[in-house]
Structure 1
Amino acid sequence: MSYVTPEDPRTRRQLASQIKDALRGLHNQLSMLNRQVGVQLALKDIDMDCLDHISRHGPLSPSNLARQAGLHPATLTGILDRLEQAGWIARERDPADRRAVTVRALPDRGGEIYRLFAGMNSAVDSICAEYDEQQLKLLADFLRRTTDAGLVATRDLTSGSGDRPAE
C-alpha cells in the first residue's frame, strides 16, 4: 500500500506564488511581442486587441465588440475607422437587420500577422511537444480557467464591485 504524504501548505503557497509570477512574466513578454508586431504592422496595441477579438469571435456588432474589449463605443469607432482604412476589417450591414452593422476581419491580411507570430508559435509547439497528452489537458484547463478568472475580475472592476482598498 502506498502512503501519500500530506501537502505542505508552505510549499503550496510558494508554488502558487511562482505560478502567479510566471503569469506576470508571460504577460509582459507577450505585451512586448505584441508591441513589436504592432510596430511592424503599423497598428496600435488596442487596434491589435480589437482585431484579435474580431478575428476570433466575429463577425461582431460594434456594441458587442466594445463590451468584449471593455471600451467605450466612441473609442471603438476610432479604432474601427483605423482598422477599416488600413484594410484589416470590413463593416457590413447585418442581413437580418439592415440598420445594424457587423464587423468582420478580412482574411487576406491574416497571413501578415501569422508570419510575425511564427517564431512564437513554433516555440510553443516545441514546448508542447515535451508534455504528454494528460499534461497538455491539465495545462489547457489551467489556462482556460485562469482566463475565465481574469474575465470575472475585469467585469467586477468594470461594474464597481471589485475589492477596493480601505480608505
Structure 2
Amino acid sequence: MNYKQPSHRRQATAVKQALRGLNNQLSLFTHRVAGRVRLKDIDLDCLDLIGRHGPLGPSAIAGRAGLHPATVTGILDRLEQGGWITRERKPDATDRRAVTVEVLRNRNAELFGLFAGMNAAMDEVCANYTATELELIAGFLRRTTNAGHEATDALASH
C-alpha cells in the first residue's frame, strides 16, 4: 500500500481528527463523572489505574500516571478520605513507608451507575459491527494507546 497517496493521507488525517474528538469528549465525560463523586479528573484517572493494575505502590502509580510522587500523595489522600482506596503497609517491608494501595470495591456500584449510560451507548455502537470488525477496532485502539504511552514517555524524558 502506498501511504503517500492523497486519499490515504486524507483518511489518516480523518482518523486523527476523530481521535482528537474522542479524546475531548471522553475528557469532558470524565470531568462530569469526577464532579459527581466529588473528585478531580486526575483522581478518577488514578483510581482507574489502581483498579485495573492494583494493588500498587505509590511510586508505581506515579510512574503509570506520569505524575510526581508528591502529587500522587495528595491524590491518594483525597481518594482515601473519600472512601475509594485503602493504603496498607507491606508486612514484610524493611521500609516502614512502603505501602500498597487498593481500590475499595464497595464504591463500584456508584461509579458503574455513572458510567451506565456510556456503556449502553457503546453497546449500541458495537452492535453495528461484526466480531471481526470489532477485533480490528480493538487492535487499532490498543496500538493507538501504546503510541500514546510512547509519546508520553518521550515527553517525560525531555
Question: Which bracket does the TM-score occupy, shorter chain normalised?
Answer: over 0.9
TM-score (norm 2): 0.94
CA distances 1:61-114 after superposition (whole Å, capped 9, x unpaired): 000000000110111111100100110000011244263200000000011111
Give the partner amino acid of 1:53: L
- The answer on whether the counterparts of 2:3 and 2:9 sit within 8 Å (CA) in structure 1 is no
Unaligned runs of 5+ in 2: none
Unaligned runs of 5+ in 1: 161-167
**Number of residue-to-residue matches in the alignment:** 156
Give the partner amino acid of 2:134: L
Relative CO higher for 1 or 2, CA cutoff 8 Å, sep ≥ 6? 2
- Runs of 4+ aligned residues of structure 1 deviating over 4 Å after TM superposition are 5-8
Give the partner amino acid of 2:38: A
Aligned position for 2:109: 111
Aligned pairs (5 A) from 1:86-105: 86-97=82-93, 99=96, 100-105=98-103
Structure of higher CA gyration radius: 1
- The answer on whether the counterparts of 2:87 and 2:99 sit within 8 Å (CA) in structure 1 is yes
TM-score (norm 1): 0.89
Deviates more, 1:92-101 or 1:141-150: 92-101
CA distances 1:143-163 after superposition (whole Å, capped 9, x unpaired): 000000000000011001xxx
| Partner SS state of residue 55, structure 2 | coil
1:157 aligns with 2:152: no
Give the partner amino acid of 2:148: G
Deviates more, 1:7-16 or 1:46-55: 7-16
**Residues 69 and 7 from structure 1, CA distance in 2 versus in 1: closer, same or farther, beyond 3 angstroms?**
closer
Aligned position for 1:17: 13
Give the partner amino acid of 1:123: A
